[in-house]
Amino acid sequence: MRFTIPFVAAALALSVAACKKEPTTPPQPTAAPTAAPTAAPTAEPTASASAAPEVPTAWSDELTKEQKGTFMKKVIMPAMAPVFQAADAKKYAAFGCKTCHGPEFKDPDEFLPALTMKGDKMTAFADKPDVSKFMMDKVLPEMAKAMGMQPYDPATKKGFGCGGCHKIDMK
Q: Which residues bind ligand HEC (CB under 6 A)?
A: 65, 68-69, 72-73, 76-77, 80, 96-97, 99-101, 107-108, 112-113, 115, 122, 124, 128, 131-132, 135-136, 139-140, 143, 162, 164-166
Phi, psi of 161, deg, nearest 5: -120, -165
CB of 44 to ligand HEC, least distance (A): 20
| Rounded Cα gap, residues 85 and 136, in angstroms | 16
First-residue to last-residue Cα distance in the chain: 59
Judged by beta carbon, residue 35 or residue 136, the one nearer ligand HEC is: 136
Of 6 and 118, CB closest to ligand HEC = 118
78 contacts 143 by C-beta, under 8 angstroms: no
Query: Least CB distance from residue 125 to ligand HEC, whole Å?
Result: 7
Helical (H) or strand (E) element with 79: helix 77-87
CB of 14 to ligand HEC, least distance (A): 29
